[in-house]
Amino acid sequence: MKKLLALVVIAGSITLVSCGNGEKKTDDAAAAKMKADSARMADSTAKAKAADSAMKAKAAMDTTKKAAVDSTKKADAKMDAKMDAKKK
């Protein structure tokens, strides 16, 4: 009986040693997944910020272009008014 008990204890010990650290592998997998998700989110955030910056730059350029066109129209209108005044 003692030999059987010793055999069971040894077999159990070998089983625990060979199958041990199962949780660590899971933790490593979870950590790798979290790292990948974090990198993906950082990439998404960077792309969104870049798109926002591009939209703001385009809006600023459009505003500047519109102001230049308006300024040119005002100058043309002023010049036309002066020419009309000289003609009369």
Q: Model confidence over 19-29: pLDDT tens digits?
A: 765 556 667 77
**In the numeric block, which tokens belong to residue 4?**
């059987």
* Parent domain of 57: 27-87
Q: Is residue 67 part of a domain?
A: yes
Query: Model-level pTM greater than 0.85?
Result: no
Query: Which residues of the chain, if any, have pLDDT below 70?
Result: 20-26, 88
User: What pLDDT score was predicted for residue 58?
Assistant: 86
Establish if 3 belongs to a structural domain: no
Q: Hey, what amino acid is at 50?
A: A
Q: Residue 22: what pLDDT?
A: 57
For the chain, what is the domain count?
1
Amino acid at residue number 36: A
C-alpha torsion sign, points 57, 58, 63, 68: positive
pLDDT at 65: 80
What is the pLDDT, as a whole number, of residue 25? 60
Going from the C-alpha of 76 to that of each of 17, 57, 69, 81, 87, the distances in angstroms are 90, 28, 10, 9, 16
